[in-house]
Amino acid sequence: MKRICKQTVLILLAILCITSLAFAGGGKATKEKAEEEIVIAYTGFPGGITPFWAQMTQYVKEEAEALGVTLLDMSPTQADAAMQKDSVDNAINRGVDGIIIGAVDNRAFGESLDNAAAKGIFCVAVDTAIDHPHISALAQTDNLASARLLGQYIVDHTPTKGKALILGGTLGHQTGDARRDGVRQVLEANGFEVIFRACNWDDRLAYETAINELGAHPDIVVVFGAWDPGALSGLAAVKEKGLMNKIKVYGFDGLPPAIKSIQNGELTATIKQDNKQMAQVIMRSLVAQIEGQETVKKLLIDGFVIDSSNADQFAE
In a domain, 74, yes or no: yes
User: Do 197 and 230 belong to one domain?
Assistant: yes
User: Do 103 and 151 belong to one domain?
Assistant: no
- Which residues does 59 contact at the CB level (< 8 Å), separation at least 6? 275, 276, 278, 279, 280
Instruction: Kindly report the CATH number assigned to the domain that includes residue 63.
Output: 3.40.50.2300
Task: For the chain, give the number of residues.
Answer: 316
Through-space distance between the first and last CA atoms of the chain, rounded to whole angstroms: 85
Per-residue pLDDT tens over the stretch 171-228: 999 999 999 999 999 999 999 999 999 999 999 999 999 999 999 999 999 999 999 9
pLDDT value at position 19?
33
User: Do 163 and 212 belong to one domain?
Assistant: yes
Secondary structure of the chain: what % helix, strand, coil (to 5)? 50, 20, 30
User: Do 294 and 249 belong to one domain?
Assistant: no
User: Do 253 and 173 belong to one domain?
Assistant: yes
**Range of weakest confidence among 24-28, 167-171, 280-284:** 24-28
Residue 100 exposed, middle or buried by CB count within 10 Å (0-12, 13-18, 19+): buried
In a domain, 22, yes or no: no
pLDDT band of residue 12 (cuts 50, 70, 90) is very low
In a domain, 163, yes or no: yes
User: Do 178 and 121 belong to one domain?
Assistant: no
The answer to whether the CB of 272 falls within 8 A of the CB of 23 is no
In a domain, 32, yes or no: no
Arithmetic mean of pLDDT over the chain = 89
User: Do 74 and 172 belong to one domain?
Assistant: no
pTM for this one? 0.79
Number of domains observed in the structure of the chain? 2
CA distance 191 to 214: 19
In a domain, 24, yes or no: no
User: Do 161 and 234 belong to one domain?
Assistant: yes
User: Do 258 and 227 belong to one domain?
Assistant: yes
pLDDT band of residue 35 (cuts 50, 70, 90) is low
User: Do 266 and 296 belong to one domain?
Assistant: no
Higher-scoring residue by pLDDT: 11, 45? 45
Residue 185 exposed, middle or buried by CB count within 10 Å (0-12, 13-18, 19+): middle
Kind plus residue range of the DSSP H or E element containing 269: strand 269-272
Q: Which percentage of the chain shows pLDDT scores above 70? A: 88
pLDDT value at position 36?
58
Per-residue pLDDT tens over the stretch 302-316: 999 999 999 999 997
In a domain, 173, yes or no: yes
In a domain, 219, yes or no: yes
Q: Which percentage of the chain shows pLDDT scores above 90? A: 82
**Range of weakest confidence among 50-59, 90-99, 283-292:** 50-59
Residue 268 domain boundaries? 143-272+308-314
In a domain, 14, yes or no: no
Q: Look up residue 148 and give its DSSP letter.
A: H
User: Do 80 and 96 belong to one domain?
Assistant: yes
CA distance 38 to 144: 35
pLDDT band of residue 20 (cuts 50, 70, 90) is very low
User: Do 137 and 279 belong to one domain?
Assistant: yes
Residue 109 reports pLDDT greater than 80: yes
Residue 7 reports pLDDT greater than 60: no
Residue 8 reports pLDDT greater than 50: no
